[in-house]
Amino acid sequence: MLKTFEKLSTARQHEIIDTTAEVFAENGYHGTSIPSICERTGISVGALYKYFKNKEDIYVSVLQRGIDIIENDLYNEMPEGETIYDALNIIFNGLLPFYDNYRQYIILYIDAGTFSMNQFSYAITDRLENLASTYHIGLVDKYKATGSINPDIDSAYVAYFIDTYLTLFSYSLVSEYYRRRFDLFFGLDSSVAKNQERIEIILKSLRLLLE
Amino acid sequence: MLKTFEKLSTARQHEIIDTTAEVFAENGYHGTSIPSICERTGISVGALYKYFKNKEDIYVSVLQRGIDIIENDLYNEMPEGETIYDALNIIFNGLLPFYDNYRQYIILYIDAGTFSMNQFSYAITDRLENLASTYHIGLVDKYKATGSINPDIDSAYVAYFIDTYLTLFSYSLVSEYYRRRFDLFFGLDSSVAKNQERIEIILKSLRLLLE
Amino acid sequence: MLKTFEKLSTARQHEIIDTTAEVFAENGYHGTSIPSICERTGISVGALYKYFKNKEDIYVSVLQRGIDIIENDLYNEMPEGETIYDALNIIFNGLLPFYDNYRQYIILYIDAGTFSMNQFSYAITDRLENLASTYHIGLVDKYKATGSINPDIDSAYVAYFIDTYLTLFSYSLVSEYYRRRFDLFFGLDSSVAKNQERIEIILKSLRLLLE
Amino acid sequence: MLKTFEKLSTARQHEIIDTTAEVFAENGYHGTSIPSICERTGISVGALYKYFKNKEDIYVSVLQRGIDIIENDLYNEMPEGETIYDALNIIFNGLLPFYDNYRQYIILYIDAGTFSMNQFSYAITDRLENLASTYHIGLVDKYKATGSINPDIDSAYVAYFIDTYLTLFSYSLVSEYYRRRFDLFFGLDSSVAKNQERIEIILKSLRLLLE
DNA sequence: AATGAATGAGCCTTCATTCAT
DNA sequence: AATGAATGAAGGCTCATTCAT
């Protein structure tokens, strides 16, 4: 027999989880109360506890949904591009609409790296981390083949480099802290700088160091 | 009139704050209770509220102390080294003893990048972020002068690159999440890999991309 | 129109009530939840509330069934025996199989004597208490007639004496408390003593004081 | 350092526990809510949880106090009396003022025999049960010595007999159920019968069967 | 200056009961 | 007739903060 929650329409399930993710993103796990989730989702306390076992189960479900989204929206296909820089351009720009729709998941993704969230690392570790390393190493290998990157360099090094910049750029999209950190290095004024501008700097940086 | 807390000996002040930092690091801001701080520090509730205005004030004081330590222990002087790689070797290895003494502050430093901690950004932003960018740009400039790095490249790019790797390595010292992420890229087994090994990979990576 | 519950086969009705009685026996009235009853009986919440008005009604139905059983299984016929001691031997030993099948009702019978269950007294008082006194007074009168008991003693005194020992023995079958109390008086080791042994002590006791 | 509760005056401690005992007696363990205890004792929830670890701890403390009282008020000294019947007369009548002051503890004492309270038997078993058996066996032995009771009968049998009648009389003082059971046997009208009358019947009963 | 007892709002969770399907 | 999703009050317990001593 299906779990109660799984009997809801997929759209409704997503709506509930995405909204809940927002609340967790805004306040953190411990800072989020069950009533506040109920209020935002329009679900009664009783119903919520029919849907999920407890607060931890709610959080894990949110994290799983986040990974699903990242998997489907970000890592589903390799971008087409003449050189790896074209490809990276597409990837970085692709983050912007993702950010518009699902910024809460980027936030939770940062939270997941936090020490006090270690108890949840089991819930994301297996799937998410593999995803990024596999994807980026694949990307590098692909462009090694087309000659736009030096084939003598171990792909892992390049892939880690790219992933790192991508990760910190994602962080900067939602965290004032990471945004200021970036802007400070490159002399940008955080209150007016545009993400487009930041992407250009990053791409230039990648090019500079990879070529 | 002096704040009550400041009348304590400096050593006692540090002892209290460092211990409190541990508790916050372990449980996060919302997950930390005042009674748990009192228990760990051996201070009575009444005294704690004489020392600090409220929970938020305690947290801010902890963050300030963290920056003091980082400033004094990590960024106080440029390492001596023939090439920039020698210098970086010293810097990365210098993190290990720092980690032994003050890992709680690294954890709090990660927490600070979290969205739900944005309310505390003001308390660290001004000092800490400047510190890192100034230091690393200075470092790069210094070694540009000695010729061990290409003077045509804008120092900001190199400095950001170095700072990024340093930051993520710090994170990996305390966060399972970041540790696994790194290990996954480079095919290390997280349960046995040593930090020394990770530092070598990072230094090789820096060298590879900078030379 | 018949109550919905009464349209079920008698066997099914008994099955449901006996199982529900188990749950109430294990956890007490307030400690028993409707969902736990549904789970154990395999009945849906909706159905349960079609069968019974509310939790109180369920409990009362269980108590009524308990009295039915006691009436039919324990007090339906006088035991045949040469002397009253033979008869009592049969009665006490008859409790053991009853206990195997319906221990939950003995438990509920103890609960019923509890102050906080006074609200349910009405549901059992009228039938159950009369049953025991009538039966035991009848028993005594019968054996007075056969000469195995002194006819000058008021039957009520003897009957109450017998009923008391029978009641406390029943209690000891299900309650650790009453079992230990008995064993302590007679120097038995609760962890190994057998019910057969206890019955013998009781019968000896009755004989000693009645003869 | 003393527990917070133990810093209160003994009178206040007793006041709190005795009142709490009343609430538990009226509603049973599961039927009693923490707020209801707070309301009746005039203590705040926070204070209550400073005094006691949790609900179970409160209950156990109440049980312990009950045993203290029983020990000091009921079993502290052997009654003086020419024959054992004089002594028993004193004992049974001694229950009446005890009942006036501490009826709640008699109720809890009944509850303790309940199956769903088995989890608490550890808290009373060791002290209370020994108390009664030791006392009554001692009583019987004493009067065997003075010749008012047949010295050939094993004291345990007589003591258990006495204790049983005493126990059920106590029960009848607080439980409608046990009161009616007694009255039914002896043809009393529960609505008008006096305890004095019941004591006389019991004493006559003891005399009848012991002599 | 220091203590820790006291408060009661708020936490997570479960409950008896209703009602649309 | 039967299901089980939904409700929200109430459960036990912890918390940040105050204040009398």
Over the stretch D86-97, which tens digit does the pLDDT of each residue have?
999 999 999 999
Asked if D99 has any chain C CB less than 8 Å from its own CB, the reply is no
Buried b / exposed e across D146-184, counting CB within 10 Å, b at 16+? eebbeeebebbbbbbbbbbbbbbbbbbbbbbbbbbbbbb
For the cut 80, the answer to whether the pLDDT of residue B161 exceeds it is yes
Lowest mean pLDDT among B13-22, C165-174, D143-152: D143-152
Interval C173-190: pLDDT, tens = 999 889 989 999 999 998
Two tokens, residue B204: 């090789």
What is the DSSP-derived secondary structure letter of residue C6?
A: G
Do D and B touch (≥3 CB pairs < 8 Å)? no
Give the count of beta carbons closer than 10 Å to the beta carbon of residue B79.
Answer: 15
Q: Which residue has the tokens 């940008």?
A: A188
What's the rounded Cα separation, in Å, for the pair D147 and D170? Answer: 28
Strand F contact with C46 (CB < 7 A): yes
| A vs B: CB pairs below 8 A | 149
pLDDT category of residue A124 using cuts at 50, 70 and 90: confident
pLDDT at A11: 95
pLDDT of residue B101: 93
Tell me the DSSP string of chain A. ---GGGGS-HHHHHHHHHHHHHHHHHHHHHH--HHHHHHHHT--HHHHHHH-SSHHHHHHHHHHHHHHHIIIIISSSPPP-SSHHHHHHHHHHHHHHHHHHHHHHHHHHHHTTSGGGGGGHHHHIIIIIHHHHHHHHHHHHHHHHTTSS-TTS-HHHHHHHHHHHHHHHHHHHH-HHHHHHHHHHTT--TTT--HHHHHHHHHHHHHHHH-
Q: How confident is the model at residue D1 (pLDDT cuts 50, 70, 90)?
A: low
- Binned at pLDDT 50, 70 and 90, residue A120 comes out as confident
Q: CA-CA distance, D181 to C126, in Å (whole number)?
A: 10
Angle at B122 between CA B116 and CA B127, to 5 degrees: 125
Q: Chain E positions under 7 Å from a protein CB?
A: 1-20
Residue C7's pLDDT is: 92
Yes or no, beta carbons of C114 and D112 under 8 Å apart: no
The nucleotide minimizing the C1' distance to residue A2's CA is F4
CA distance B27 to C100: 52
pLDDT value of position B41: 96
Confidence of residue A1 (pLDDT cuts 50, 70, 90): low
Q: What is the mean pLDDT of residues A78-98?
A: 92
Q: What is the mean pLDDT of chain A?
A: 92
Domain boundaries, chain B: 1-63, 74-210
Per-residue pLDDT at B165:
96
* Range B17-27 average pLDDT: 97
Å from the A157 CA to the E3 C1': 58
Residue C33 has pLDDT above 90, yes or no: yes
Strand E contact with B33 (CB < 7 A): no
Examine the pLDDT at B174 and tell me if it is beyond 80. yes
Does B191 score more than 60 pLDDT?
yes
Is 90 exceeded by the pLDDT of residue C201? yes
pLDDT at site D142: 92
Q: What is the mean pLDDT of residues D159-171?
A: 95
Closest CA to A174 of B128, B117, B27, B133: B117
Can you give the pLDDT at residue D104?
96
What residue in A sits closest to B204 (Cα-Cα)? Answer: A157
What CA–CA distance (Å, rounded) separates D45 from D37? 9
Q: Concatenated DSSP letters for C187-206?
A: T--TTT--HHHHHHHHHHHH
pLDDT tier at A106 (50, 70, 90 boundaries)? very high
CA-atom Rg of chain A in angstroms: 19
Residue C200, amino acid: E
The pLDDT value recorded for residue B1 is 55
pLDDT band at D69 (very low <50, low <70, confident <90, very high): very high
- The string of pLDDT tens digits covering residues A175-184 is 888 998 999 9
Please give the sequence-ordered ranges of beta strands (E in DSSP) within D16-77, or none if there are none. Answer: none
pLDDT at A200 over 90: yes
A40 CB closer than 7 A to any strand E atom: no
- Tell me which chain A residues have a C-beta less than 8 angstroms from the C-beta of B113: 110, 171, 175, 177-178
Check if C181 contacts D (Cβ < 8 Å): yes
What is the C-alpha to C-alpha distance for residues D177 and D193, in angstroms, rounded to an integer? 15
Average pLDDT over residues B59-70: 94
Classify domain D74-210 at the CATH topology level.
Tetracycline Repressor; domain 2 (1.10.357)
The DSSP call for residue D119 is G
Question: How many other C-beta atoms are found inside a 10 Å radius of the C-beta of residue C156?
Answer: 18
Are residues A86 and B145 in contact, defined by beta-carbon separation less than 8 angstroms? no
pLDDT band at D130 (very low <50, low <70, confident <90, very high): confident
pLDDT in tens, D177-210: 899 899 999 999 989 999 999 999 999 999 988 8
* CA distance linking residue C95 with residue D84, whole number of Å: 34
Q: Does domain C1-63 have CATH number 1.10.10.60?
A: yes
How does the average pLDDT of chain C come out, rounded?
91
**Other beta carbons less than 10 A from residue B94's beta carbon:** 13
Please enumerate in sequence order all residues whose Cβ is within 8 A of that of B31, keeping only pairs 6 or more positions apart, or say none.
Answer: A29, A30, A116
Average pLDDT over residues A42-63: 96
Q: Measured between CB atoms, which of D129, D175, D205 is closest to C181?
A: D129
Does the beta carbon of B173 lie under 8 angstroms from any beta carbon of chain A? no
